[in-house]
Structure 1
């Protein structure tokens, strides 16, 4: 193990340890010097779970959720000490630990996880193909079991020139990239956060695919499975729906609000360059129950009363509203911050340009009962607002 690798591990282990103090025990020796033995002991006795929860409720004022896009957990934290990662079990117990890949001469070989670092500029690598259909193919599900062993080969084939008999070096390198991982010398800030706060090592996509489904799931816990069941005519692929639009959301269709196709362009923004590049095909209005409603607590009736189209936006959550109100819970303040949403410090004029805005990253904007309600859109902010609020 190289010194820098050892320091990575030692640093991470130190961050995982509870506060310690040095205690010394002096043992007199007949006719000789006293022997001092030092050992590490905890500052305080361990707390019970109830005591820990009480302290959290007393001291925690804000909760921030940081999630990385277009990267797997193992890519960033596969070797993080204590995490469920690459080497926390035998290779034979990890599906896809060894995968086939084609050499540039057409011969086949296998590839296993390997480390890349600053020498390979690994802090900013390209992201591999993560479209819904391609992800499903890479998982290689056989008889209901995901073998997870086609990431390298299918990524390589994705970059092969049409009609080519063998992969180019670039194509092979993209295939190899699916099996690469970084350590703390490459992404020190992320490892620092993981060590000092909480790292979720068994957090999975509810729907495999690109940005939009996962941004929606962050705020809702699903991407439209409930709506799919309640409204079969809204299923992806249904007659009359454009390609890539439907329930559950599996692609990067922009939110309906902001597209101008809902009849009101004044509520929420859209990047002006989106429509210039291609026609905007928006997703359907997401109408199933989700987290933003529950955060209104006992104030939910007053908030939902401000919805501009309650017959549509609240149709699937009517039965949830009285239950949430009956809980008598206090409302939880929340915010979703995204670059370009409103006027940013980088905008030169008085008007917001929305140049940096990416609509399909804004999970709450897909829901009519948020996007069509000024009391709810008050929770949506730009990046400059985040720094001001901090």
Structure 2
């Protein structure tokens, strides 16, 4: 009873801002779930399913993408005669030899292999340019479930249609050994910032009174449909003539929800402290500093239940000590979701207990794995150069790191009762031929790779169950008999209203009967 009263008081604090971020009543854990003693979540970056696993045997892959399904439309709704160039070039700045904008011109209106030896021959070890992966643009690209305007509303031209032969990647072999899910969608539309919130609270952050704040200039200008940015008068009419332009492609919705990248209010943050301010805080007067958030997270619920947990962040200590550098470790400040919440502010016991340094190259996380000292629930975020994000990281290095971590987990003293989920935060702007199910205002977004790894996994299986990022916290909720976050309740209600089933909790990939 005491725990429920405390939970109720937290709910009241957050409900005035984001009603669906609070929690509802607990439910009994299903039989067999208690066979899992350790849940490990590894969160990589920015790849659609088709981009890496479109040719995986038994999966709903590129062989199912008909020419009509892959054909991209221009901004006026007519088919493009060809793909535009990759604006600014296909490869990232500094890559040599480069694939230039001119070299990427005149591709057929279809998906193409970036690593085709007869084409660009750019292996997954080569860093390609970054692509827009933003809240409104993704909805415009999905185009009501047709996924036919990825090129039209991209800043990267043809690159959105690129994919790799993933069979050369180490995680391909992991997928063959365990389970790969081919119907797993990112929890929210847009980029890493919002999808990290989806992972830890199934909620959308809020900026109170943003129209009277330093963030006012970042409020987006949106059409009456509520899902499309207002196009600027000087925008190119055709995707063949250049990237689109908008009146205001901001970080905040017109009703002040933060949907594109904002910085944490606490260090480490890309925004330094205010002059003469607290060195542990980011400058609150910076337009991109998000005020501290008060929604309930899965971490709060685990703590209330007395379940041990931690967020391990690669290079966290290096970033705090001012030793972050590019290209290594390239710590990403907005990939640390708990650092946005008041419950984990500097000086709190919760921060000391749960926000941990994963070490450079994940060495501290690997040490806890090897020593059998992982808490009941662990989240691991690789440092920037190992996260596979376009523009600053390559696929091969990150994929090898994921496979190395899995190898350590398989040898851990805790392995016998472990569930590992390896997935990506979002699609990174890359096209996928499978449209997401229609649900609520926030998502889900496009399809992403996900691996379900465990001694209890149905080995060699392609799991076609409908999942999204919140499926991870659905399993954690069921396993530890936690209250259900209201964002999950809202998502399932929206799915039912659109004649779609609720998201699964990953157990279709597991045999918990033995």
TM-score (norm 1): 0.56
Does 2:338 align with 1:335? no
Does 2:370 align with 1:363? no
Q: Quick check: 1:207–1:213 contact (8 Å CA) kept in 2?
A: yes
Q: Quick check: 2:55–2:62 contact (8 Å CA) kept in 1?
A: yes
Query: What is residue 83 of structure 1 aligned with on the other side?
Result: 59
Query: What is residue 147 of structure 2 aligned with on the other side?
Result: 148
Q: Rate the CA distance shift 1:192–1:109 in 2: closer, same or farther, 3 A.
A: closer
What is the rounded CA distance, in whole Å, between the counterparts of 2:262 and 2:318 in structure 1?
A: 24
Query: What is residue 42 of structure 1 aligned with on the other side?
Result: none
Runs of 5+ unmatched residues, structure 2: 1-29, 74-79, 86-101, 219-250, 370-514
What is the rounded CA distance, in whole Å, between the counterparts of 2:308 and 2:136 in structure 1?
A: 37
Aligned equivalent of 1:205, options 186, 203, 207: 186
SS in 1 for 2:44: coil
What is the rounded CA distance, in whole Å, between the counterparts of 2:339 and 2:39 in structure 1?
A: 21
SS in 2 for 1:213: helix
SS in 2 for 1:282: coil
Note the C-alpha offset of 1:282: 0.9
Q: Rate the CA distance shift 1:217–1:234 in 2: closer, same or farther, 3 A.
A: same
Q: Quick check: 2:312–2:357 contact (8 Å CA) kept in 1?
A: yes
Q: Rate the CA distance shift 1:370–1:137 in 2: closer, same or farther, 3 A.
A: same
Runs of 5+ unmatched residues, structure 1: 1-51, 159-173, 299-330
What is the CA deviation profile of residues 39-75 of structure 1, one whole-angstrom value per residue up to 9, with x for unaligned ones?
xxxxxxxxxxxxx963x643x4433223332222221
Q: Quick check: 2:84–2:158 contact (8 Å CA) kept in 1?
A: no
Does 2:201 align with 1:220? yes
Q: Rate the CA distance shift 1:193–1:280 in 2: closer, same or farther, 3 A.
A: farther
Q: Quick check: 2:197–2:203 contact (8 Å CA) kept in 1?
A: yes
Q: Rate the CA distance shift 1:352–1:389 in 2: closer, same or farther, 3 A.
A: farther
What is the CA deviation profile of residues 158-196 of structure 1, one whole-angstrom value per residue up to 9, with x for unaligned ones?
3xxxxxxxxxxxxxxx4222112122344x122123233
- Counting matched residue pairs gives 259
What is the rounded CA distance, in whole Å, between the counterparts of 1:113 and 1:194 in structure 2?
A: 23
Does 2:133 align with 1:130? yes
CA radius of gyration, larger in:
1
Note the C-alpha offset of 1:354: 4.5
Note the C-alpha offset of 1:250: 1.4
Q: How does 1:34-49 map to 2 (within 5 A)?
A: none
Aligned equivalent of 1:295, options 295, 302, 317: 302
SS in 2 for 1:82: coil
Note the C-alpha offset of 1:279: 5.6
What is the rounded CA distance, in whole Å, between the counterparts of 1:281 and 1:109 in structure 2?
A: 38
Q: Rate the CA distance shift 1:219–1:198 in 2: closer, same or farther, 3 A.
A: farther
What is the rounded CA distance, in whole Å, between the counterparts of 2:310 and 2:71 in structure 1?
A: 39
What is the rounded CA distance, in whole Å, between the counterparts of 1:72 and 1:238 in structure 2?
A: 35
Note the C-alpha offset of 1:285: 1.9
Query: What is residue 175 of structure 2 aligned with on the other side?
Result: 194
What is the rounded CA distance, in whole Å, between the counterparts of 1:352 and 1:381 in structure 2?
A: 17
CA-atom RMSD, angstroms?
A: 3.7
Q: Rate the CA distance shift 1:378–1:238 in 2: closer, same or farther, 3 A.
A: same
Q: Quick check: 1:337–1:382 contact (8 Å CA) kept in 2?
A: yes
TM-score (norm 2): 0.43
What is the rounded CA distance, in whole Å, between the counterparts of 2:159 and 2:286 in structure 1?
A: 32
Q: Rate the CA distance shift 1:294–1:341 in 2: closer, same or farther, 3 A.
A: same
Note the C-alpha offset of 1:264: 4.2
What is the rounded CA distance, in whole Å, between the counterparts of 1:85 and 1:263 in structure 2?
A: 52
